[in-house]
Amino acid sequence: MNETVKIQPTSTLTCPQCGAVHRELTMPTDACQFFWDCPNCAAVIKPKQGDCCVFCSYGTVACPPIQADQGCCGG
């Protein structure tokens, strides 16, 4: 049973500070993105406790390593 996982490479982030929605952001495939600067309010966003990256906390799609069931950052 060799099931191929289709990785969705983009996500939409919603800033928890100002609520601005930023669509179609390309996620890194080989690293977690721990910080993200909101272009609307300039807040530096960090993941929620227990999440590996900002995409897992505030995105519509989890980061590629989580999608592939590889754990955070491939580890």
Beta bridge partners of 67: none
Condensed to tens digits (0 to 9), the pLDDT of residues 18-38 reads: 999 998 788 988 778 899 999
- What digits encode the pLDDT tens for the residues 57-69? 999 999 988 888 8
DSSP code of residue 50: T
| Global pTM value | 0.83
The Cα 50–Cα 23 span in angstroms is: 24
Q: What is the pLDDT of residues 38-54, one digit of tens each?
A: 999 999 999 999 998 99
